[in-house]
Every structure is written in structure tokens, then in C-alpha cells.
Amino acid sequence: MVADRIEQARSQGGTRESVTIEWRGQPCHIDVVPMPIADLYYNPETHRIRAQRDHDLAKDKGLTSDPWSDESQEYLHYLLTADPADPSRRDVNFDNLMDDLRLYEQKDPGIITPSGILVNGNTRHAALRELGRENIRVGVLPGDWTWPDIRAVELELQLRKEHRRDYSYINQLIAIEDEAARGLPEAEICKKFRIQSKTFRQARWILQFVRDAIERSKVELPDGSIAGMRLVDFEDHQEKLKELQRKYVELEPRDHEGAERMKENRLIAIVLGKAKTDIRWIEPNFREKHLEGKLPAQLKFDGEGGGDRVSIPGLSPRATVTGESKSVKAAKATTDAVLKAKATSSAGKAPAATLQEANDLINSMDAALEKGIRAAGRDGSLRKRKAAAPEKLSDANDLLKSVVDDIVEARSKGLLDIDALDEGFLVIRRTLAAIVAQVSRGVSEPGDGLLWLQRATREGE
């Protein structure tokens, strides 16, 4: 059918529709033809729904084993219409796309392989199908296409600025990682995604961090099935994850264990949905200072084995290094318990007693974390208030030093205005006198600096 329609379009003469794509590093003009919506296949490898595939593990398994079956294609259609952050809900952006297509029809063609697999335009195809349209306009790739070609074309078209519906955050991370896994140089990936090198490295760090958390969350349920958190559980935490990565990278070179403790405690806060402004109070010593005494018994661990010497795999048994400290092991054990409880609670198919136990643990951790964050916030605010005056005094000193340079320059040019300076000196004296009055209250033995200032601001001296 595809070949016949291309031949028909070419035989009609006149100007025929085509679309230009980047094909193996070169511009390529491909023919656009109308195709029946019912005869095309959704692309199971599209990055638009990669993170959402495990929303239904059974259907994801079927999608992996037979992506072209009716059941698998229906699952892809469902995911394309769903909210990326919560696939159980309808995506409002998809409905907006439907409204646009209803009013203005299809503007840009999709892209398919000669065998009818949608390379670009999967979401538009789903919207047109729900609108009851019979056909979709599509450009057709050359016949010698490969799966790497499909991925390259999809990314190139998606990353053009004019596309309305961007990849979700986690799907963007997966797309970047896939390009790196293909062996593409960092500079080329950055150019393709229009990002800086630090953003590229951040994306890979965050995706690995999320995948590690998912692996740690896996727990066997009483029926023998395995429950775990999903990539979509992290979709709404983009800025929190970015802040965590920046803080970890800044801290790790000078305090590895502190960075690890901070990372574990912030992961718990992210999983429990704490606000970004609250998570910022979680520093390396957060557990020891603000959380330990508030943790329920089932979430307290002593970090057994922490600090022991461990051998380096592949080397002589004598080659050992110091393992993780007790504090890091304890933090990780608490995090693992929370992750597994969250996975059990989200699975929804565990026995009532198991679900209740998981939910009780989550609620206990949430309450303890809330109290700890409030305490850390009060402590942090107090530290800021204590540091505010000395910091401002230091800033004022820096400004006064710059005044010296300005006076020297003005004098050398014959522009020095003594009267204006004299008036400024009197203003400074009044301000310093007010500072002395406030600082001297309750101070029986002032230091050398305060003594000097007290004398300097007294009238008649």
C-alpha cells in the first residue's frame, strides 16, 4: 500500500508534498502520502513513553515479547494519551492536541517506515484516531532503514523547537542515555540535545541514581511477585533531583561520607513528596542532629559492619580498603526500608496486613521527617540571623576600602570634595553610635573592637 501510494503521488504530476529530514548526516527529501490510521503501527521504542511502559508490568512484558500484537498496540495507545507523571490519568496536553487537530486539522506530516511503523507522529496518530479520522499524512523513510536510523530521526525531529509536546523529563534522560550507549561522543550528544556538557553529565547521573533507587526498592510480595518503584514515580521531581545532583557533586570531593548521607536522606524526602524548599534543609548532618531521635524503632539501624576493611574484587585478598562507615550504612538501610515500603504500598495487590504495615512505616517516616525538617529549618534560620550582621559588616568594610581608592584618585585629579565627605562622615558616626548602643546592651566586658567603637562615637572625643 505504501509503495502504491508513493507511486500514485509521483505519477500525478505537478507539485507533490514532501518533507525534509536529516538522514545519516545529510538532508533527505521524502514523499508524503495519506495512509489509513488503522493500518499503521505505534513505535514500541519511541522515547515519548519509555519511562511509562512499566506502568502495567504484565502489559510491558507483552509489549517486549510481541510489540505488534493488538494488545501491545492498544497499550501503547493508552500510554500516549496518559499523563507522563501518572499514567493512570488522562493527559491534559493530549486533550489540548486533540482540540488543536479538531479545529485546524493536521499541519505537519508524521514519518513512517515503508512497513508502516510510526517514527514520528505517534501522539498525533493517537489523537486523530480518537477524533475518528480515517487518514494521516506521513512521510516515508527510505527502504534501507534501520532501528538506529529510526531513533536518530525521531530525536532530530523532536528536538526541533517548533514541536508542541516535549518529551517528559525522565524520557528525555533515557533518550540522552541511549545516545551515549550507542557510543556517540559527548560533544555530539550535547549538540543534538542543545545542552551543555554539565547538563549531559547531570542527566546521566540522575538517571543512574533513579534506576539504583528503583532496584533498591524491589521487594517480594507474599504471592511471590516482585514489586518495585517505577521511573514514572520520579517524573514530578525534576528540580529536586537536579538540586540533589548539584549538591552531591559540590560536596563529594571534600566530604564523601557526608555527601552519601545527604543523598540518602534527600532521596527519602523526594520519594515522600516533600517540597523542594524543605529538602534544602537536609544537609550531611541532618540525621544525627535532627532526625535520629524522631525515627520509629523499625527505621533505626546501627550500621552493622560499617567501617570494616573490605577486599577489592579481582585483586589479592590483602588489597583492602575501608568500607562504608556505620552512619552511611545506617542511612542506606533506612532508605531501603522506605523504598520497599513505598513499592509495596504502590503495588496495591499485597494482602491487607502487608499493605497496612507498609503504609504505617511510610506514615511514621513522614512524620519523623517533617519534624526533622522543621527543626533543621529553625536551626538554619537561626544560623542565618546570627551570621547576617557580621556578613553585612564585612561587606561595609569592603566598600569603605574602595572609598580609600576613590579618594586617592579624586585627590590626584584635583576633584576631591571635602565638604561632601565631611557630611558623609557625620552620617557614618550616627550609624556607628546606633550600632554601639545595640551591641553594648548586657555586655559587661566588651572586646577590643567594641571598646574602640564606644570611645570613637562618644561626643567630645
pLDDT band of residue 211 (cuts 50, 70, 90) is very high
Structural contact between residues 115 and 141, judged by C-beta atoms closer than 8 angstroms: no
Q: Are 198 and 326 within 8 A, CB to CB? A: no
pLDDT value for 73 = 97
Instruction: Tell me if residue 316 falls in helix, strand or coil.
Output: coil
Query: Burial level of 435, CB count in 10 A (0-12/13-18/19+)?
Result: middle
Instruction: Report the C-alpha gap between 388 and 396 in whole angstroms.
Output: 12
pLDDT of 321 reads 54
> What is the enclosing helix (H) or strand (E) of 20?
strand 18-23
When pLDDT is averaged across residues 63-70 and rounded to a whole number, the result is 96
CB 344 within 8 A of CB 355: yes
Question: pLDDT value at position 333?
Answer: 96
Q: What is the pLDDT of residue 437?
A: 87
Check residue 405 and give its pLDDT: 83
| Alpha-carbon distance values, 265 to 19, 43, 45, 85, 204 (Å) | 50, 39, 34, 23, 21
Q: Band the pLDDT of 165: cuts 50, 70, 90.
A: low
pLDDT one-digit tens code per residue, 81-125: 999 989 999 999 999 999 999 988 998 899 999 999 999 999 999
**What is the DSSP-derived secondary structure letter of residue 222?**
T
> Cα angle vertex 220, ends 214, 226, to 5°?
60
Question: What pLDDT does 456 receive?
Answer: 85
Query: Rounded to whole angstroms, how far apart are CA atoms 55 and 40?
Result: 24
3-class secondary structure, 89: strand
Please give the pLDDT value at position 317: 58
Indicate if the pLDDT at residue 416 is higher than 80.
yes
Confidence of residue 251 (pLDDT cuts 50, 70, 90): very high
The strand ranges marked E within 259-404 are: 309-311, 320-322
Q: Which residue has the higher pLDDT, 418 or 259?
A: 259
What DSSP character marks residue 41?
B
35 - beta bridge partners? 136
pLDDT computed for residue 125 by the predictor: 97
| pLDDT above 50: residue 207 | yes
The percentage of residues in the chain with a pLDDT greater than 70, rounded to a whole number, is: 92
Distances (CA, A) of 7 to 10, 12, 27, 138: 5, 9, 22, 15
* Residue 185, C-beta contacts closer than 8 angstroms, at least 6 positions apart: none
- Indicate the pLDDT class of residue 163, thresholds 50, 70 and 90: very low
Taking CA atoms, 174 is separated from 40, 208, 231, in Å, by 25, 10, 10
pLDDT classification of 439: cutoffs 50, 70, 90: confident
Show the DSSP H helices in 13-142 as ranges. 57-65, 70-81, 92-104, 122-130
Give the count of alpha carbons within 13 A of 259, CB side only: 14
In angstroms, the CA 131 to CA 102 distance is 7
Lowest mean pLDDT among 25-29, 205-209, 365-369: 25-29
Angle at 137 between CA 136 and CA 141, to 5 degrees: 120
pLDDT band at 160 (very low <50, low <70, confident <90, very high): low
Strands 118-120 and 110-112: antiparallel
Question: Higher model confidence: residue 441 or residue 129?
Answer: 129
Instruction: Report the side by side order of strands in the sheet with 135-140.
Output: 18-23, 26-36, 135-140, 110-112, 118-120
Given a cut of 70, whether residue 10 has pLDDT beyond it is: yes
- Write down the pLDDT at residue 420: 83
- Residue 344's pLDDT band (boundaries 50, 70, 90)? very high
Mean of all residue pLDDT scores within the chain: 89
Reported as a pLDDT band with limits 50, 70 and 90, residue 12 is confident
Among left, alpha and beta (phi > 0; psi -120 to 50; other), residue 194 is left
Element (H, E) at 135: strand 135-140
Q: Kindly state the cell numbers that stand for 340.
A: 520497599
Span 375-388, pLDDT tens digits: 998 876 666 666 66
Examine the pLDDT at 16 and tell me if it is beyond 50.
yes
Mean pLDDT over 308-336 rounds to 74
